[in-house]
Amino acid sequence: MPDTQPTAVLLNPRDLVVTAAEKLGLALVVVADPEAPLPENAPEPILRSPWISDLDQLIEQLRALELPAPVSCFGFGELGSAASAVINERLGWPGNPREALAAFKDKARLRAEVGDRAGTPVAHITCTTVEELRAAVERIGHPCVVKPVDGTGSSGVRYLADRAETERHLAALTFDTPQLVEEFLVGAEYSVEAVSTAEGHRILAITEKTTTGAPHFVETGHTLPVRLDAGDESAIHDLVTGMLDAVGYRYGPSHTEVMLTEGGPRLIESHGRPGGDRISDLLLLALGEDVFAQTMSAVLGLPAPEPATVRRVAGIRYVTFDRTVPMPGTSTELVASLPGVAETAITVEPGHRPPPVRQSGDRHGFVVATGSTRDELETNLARAVRTLTATA
C-alpha cells in the first residue's frame, strides 16, 4: 500500500468512474472540458480546462498543483485515453506508453505493428487521394470496406459491393483524413472486453453484436457474455492477447473487434478503452467486473478489487422510431420500471424527426437490461423495446 493517499486525475469522467475512484479511497482531481457535461457525483472543485484542444495548458496546470505521488491521470474515452498517456509521460506519472494508444488510434498503424502476431493479417491499403483509393479497391477487390484510419462509432464506414458503388462513394468523399481499404470479412462479428495489469491481460467477456449491415454497419445491439466453441474461444483469446502484447499495452480496459471466419478469428480493430455503447455497464451488471476500479488500483499500486461473483447476462438494444413524424415528448418511466431494465433513453429531441442511421450518433434510443439466462434477457429486452416504441 502507498504511504500517502493516491490521487486520480480524471478526464471528463462518467459517474461509474467517479464511484469506482471513491470506493478505492482515492483523492480526486476532476478535469472537465468547458463544454462537457459532468456526472452528478463529480466532487468539487472541478478543474475546467480545454484539454481536448490545448493539452499543454492542462499539463502546466497539473504540474503547478504539485500532486504527491502516487498519482496518475485516467481518461476512459477515445480522446481521454490517448490524452492521459501523454499527460502521464510528460509528468512522470505511471500509465500506458503513448505509443500504444497512438497505435489504437491509427487502424493502419495497428495492423502494421501487430503483423501476424494476432492471427492472419487482414489485407489493407492506406490511401490519401481519390486516385490511390480507386487503385487500392481494385487491388483488394470487391467487395471491400473503406473507413477513416482514425474513425470511431462507425463514422465514415462504407461497404463497396462493386465498381459502380465505388465510383458513387468516391464522388462524395472528402479526404479530411486518410482512408483505409480492407478486405471484406465473412463470418460472425464479436467484440472482446479485456483488462490489462502488470500481471498480464485478462479476457473478461466475449460480446455478441448486431449491426445494420451494409453499407454502414452501425451497431444495433450487444450481449455479454456469450460462450463459443472452446477452440474458437481459445483462438480469440490468443489473438487479443497477442495484439495487446504487440502494441505494448500495459494498463486498463481494451475493446477489440474480431470476425470469426471459417478460417478462424481475424482482427478488425481495437481500442485502448472500454467498449462504447454501455459495454462497461454491461460488464458490471452481468459479471460484476469494474474495469475502472481494476485499472486505477493497478496503476496506483493498490490491492486488486475482490474477484467478481456475479453471473448474469446483460444486453443493450438500440431502437429506431418512425422517421416521417417529429418525436413527441415521451416519458421513459414506464419502460424503466419493467423487469430487468437497468437503463433506457430516447436520444432524439422532442419535435425533431429521427435521422437516418449512418453512424452511432444517429441512433434514436436504447434499452439496457439483464437476465439470469439468455432467454430471460431476450424476453426482458423485447418487452422493453416494444413498450418504448409503442409510447413514442
Instruction: Single out the residue in 140, 159, 183 at which a domain terminates.
Output: 183
User: Is 230 part of a structural domain of the chain?
Assistant: no
Instruction: Single out the residue in 150, 168, 183 at which a domain terminates.
Output: 183
23 in the same domain as 78? yes
155 in the same domain as 81? no
Domain span at residue 169 reads: 123-183
83 in the same domain as 128? no
Cα three-residue angle 111-112-117, rounded to 5 degrees: 70
The CATH number of whichever domain residue 75 belongs to comes to 3.40.50.20
Q: Return the closest-CA partner of residue 9 out of 78, 120, 79, 93.
A: 93
What pLDDT is recorded for position 310? 86
Number of domains observed in the structure of the chain:
3
72/301 Cα distance (integer angstroms)? 11
User: Is 239 part of a structural domain of the chain?
Assistant: no
323 in the same domain as 389? yes
User: Is 272 part of a structural domain of the chain?
Assistant: no
User: Is 225 part of a structural domain of the chain?
Assistant: no
Measured CA distances, 57 to 64, 77, 86, 153, 364 (Å): 11, 20, 13, 28, 37
Instruction: Single out the residue in 158, 183, 208 at which a domain terminates.
Output: 183
What pLDDT is recorded for position 329? 82
Are residues 100 and 85 in contact, defined by beta-carbon separation less than 8 angstroms?
Answer: yes
User: Is 363 part of a structural domain of the chain?
Assistant: yes
What pLDDT is recorded for position 66? 95
Task: Indicate the pTM of the whole model.
Answer: 0.90
Q: Provide block-wise average pLDDT over 10 residues at a time, the chain (392 residues).
A: 85 96 96 89 92 96 96 96 97 96 90 85 91 94 91 79 92 86 94 96 96 88 96 96 95 96 93 95 97 97 88 96 90 95 95 93 96 98 95 73
Are residues 300 and 8 in contact, defined by beta-carbon separation less than 8 angstroms?
Answer: yes
User: Is 190 part of a structural domain of the chain?
Assistant: no
User: Is 287 part of a structural domain of the chain?
Assistant: no
What pLDDT is recorded for position 307? 83
User: Is 222 part of a structural domain of the chain?
Assistant: no
What pLDDT is recorded for position 275? 94
326 in the same domain as 380? yes
179 in the same domain as 133? yes
Secondary structure in 3-state letters for the chain:
CCCCCCEEEEECCCHHHHHHHHHCCCEEEEEECCCCCCCCCCCCCEEECCCCCCHHHHHHHHHHHCCCCCEEEECCCHHHHHHHHHHHHHHCCCCCCHHHHHHHHCHHHHHHHHCCECECCCCEEEECCHHHHHHHHHHHCCCEEEEECCCCCCCCCEEECCHHHHHHHHHHCCCCCCEEEEECCCCEEEEEEEEEECCEEEEEEEEEEEECCCCCCCEEEEEECCCCCHHHHHHHHHHHHHHHHHHCCCCEEEEEEEEEECCEEEEEEEECCCCCCCHHHHHHHHHCCCHHHHHHHHHCCCCCCCCCCCCCEEEEEEECCCCCCCCCCCCCHHHHCCCCEEEEEECCCCCCCCCCCCCHHHCCEEEEEEECCHHHHHHHHHHHHHHHHHHC
138 in the same domain as 88? no
